Amino acid sequence: MTDLAVQLQGVGKTYPFFTLDGIDLDVPTGTIAGLIGANGAGKSTTIRMLVGLVQQDRGSVRVLGHDLPEHQVAAKQDVGFVSEDIKLYKSATLAWHIHFIRSIFGHWDDAYAQSLLGRFDLNLNQKIRGLSHGQRVKAALLLALARRPRLLVLDEPTAGLDPIARLEVLGALTEVLTDENRTVLLSSQNTLDIEQISDQITFIDRGRVLHSADKETLLDGWRSIRLRVPPATLLPDLPGITRDGGTDRVPILKAHPFEPAMIEALQATGATIETVERMTLEEIFVASVMRQRARADR
Ligand code: ATP
């Protein structure tokens, strides 16, 4: 068995008004990987390539040891996919869908499906048409989870869910990892969800990977620094430090990759350090995107 559930190398896709390019992504088996990006960043396109719905124009896509698109039939047997626009048959019941999925994939964990039914508060005999958005997402998740796929891929699974439903869904996802041979890859615009459950985090913007690291390394690599600068003092440009708000006398800076020596360099300018704080994943995501866009637009 390969140590990487997903391996993308130099992957690209060109649409008339959008190019996804140079996407490198390794997802180790047994981890939860989160993909974060703004609207139109290329998250769904990347995810759709992993599940064989979109074919890359460049680069290699390897899923559970299978090269795609050549061996997508074999890969799909072990990949579960849930997206916001998942197509369930509106006039059929959840029980019908379970029967259908079982007939295609063969393996189905009935005890697990029963426990998810209770936890997600779903009724086997209710037609999909009668379900709310959140119930539909949970139904799609149940159908994917109870197959016990080795790789579960989810495109915005928590979009439009209320806080309770979000917690239920995130809880079910983390439980998948109690078996170390299983892997989850999910995309979200909600950095809180990703921060809560992911081991590894990748930022995508304008069709490129900005950052890909394990969560602790990512969170540890950034600091927000608040200074007090003496009148008529101009802060020099320091590598890895960018201004992000505050006033000229009390600027707020973002530092990455953060080194304690940066503090000494700032103090050497005559500035007083007021606070040095770790940043949330959301703050780090915004700062990385702004920094990269400023570089690209220069
Ligand atoms: P969102 O968070 O808004 O769903 P996303 O990060 O998932 O965004 P994608 O859905 O991957 O982004 O779309 C990236 C870009 O690719 C968009 O500009 C979109 O218009 C374009 N795109 C996606 N699919 C197609 C297609 N089939 N034909 C043409 N352009 C496409």
198 in ligand 1 pocket by Cβ < 6 Å? no
pLDDT tens for 240-277 read 999 988 998 999 999 999 999 999 999 998 999 999 99
Task: Give the global pTM.
Answer: 0.91
User: Alpha-carbon Rg of the chain, whole angstroms?
Assistant: 22
Rounded distance from Cα 40 to ligand 1 centre (Å): 5
**For atom 23 of ligand 1, which residue has the closest CA?**
45
Q: Contact at 8 Å (CB) between 22 and 42?
A: no
42 in ligand 1 pocket by Cβ < 6 Å? yes
CA distances from 6 to 27, 32, 54, 189 (A): 5, 11, 16, 21
pLDDT for res 293: 87
How do 183-188 and 151-155 pair as beta strands?
parallel
- Six token digits for residue 78: 């072990």
Rounded distance from Cα 155 to ligand 1 centre (Å): 12
- Six token digits for residue 70: 């050549």
Rounded distance from Cα 266 to ligand 1 centre (Å): 42
Q: Contact at 8 Å (CB) between 36 and 202?
A: yes
Ligand 1, pocket-test mutation among 18, 49, 86, 203, most atoms within 8 A of CB: 18
pLDDT tens for 49-94 read 999 999 999 999 999 999 999 999 999 889 999 987 777 999 999 9
Q: Contact at 8 Å (CB) between 186 and 179?
A: no
Q: Contact at 8 Å (CB) between 46 and 202?
A: no
Rounded distance from Cα 47 to ligand 1 centre (Å): 11
**For atom 25 of ligand 1, which residue has the closest CA?**
15
Among the listed residues 191, 198, 184, the one whose alpha carbon sits nearest the alpha carbon of residue 289: 191
How do 208-214 and 200-205 pair as beta strands?
antiparallel
pLDDT tens for 82-140 read 987 777 999 999 999 999 998 888 788 999 999 999 989 999 999 999 999 889 999 99
Average pLDDT over the chain, rounded to an integer: 91
pLDDT tens for 89-100 read 999 999 999 999
pLDDT tens for 212-235 read 999 999 999 999 999 999 888 888
Q: For residues 231 and 249, give the distance between their C-alpha atoms in angstroms, rounded to a whole number.
A: 7
20 in ligand 1 pocket by Cβ < 6 Å? no
**For atom 19 of ligand 1, which residue has the closest CA?**
40
> Confidence band (pLDDT; 50, 70, 90) for 180?
confident
**For atom 9 of ligand 1, which residue has the closest CA?**
42
Rounded distance from Cα 180 to ligand 1 centre (Å): 32
Q: For residues 174 and 230, give the distance between their C-alpha atoms in angstroms, rounded to a whole number.
A: 49
Rounded distance from Cα 158 to ligand 1 centre (Å): 19
Rounded distance from Cα 206 to ligand 1 centre (Å): 10
pLDDT for res 177: 75
pLDDT for res 234: 80
How do 66-68 and 79-83 pair as beta strands?
unpaired
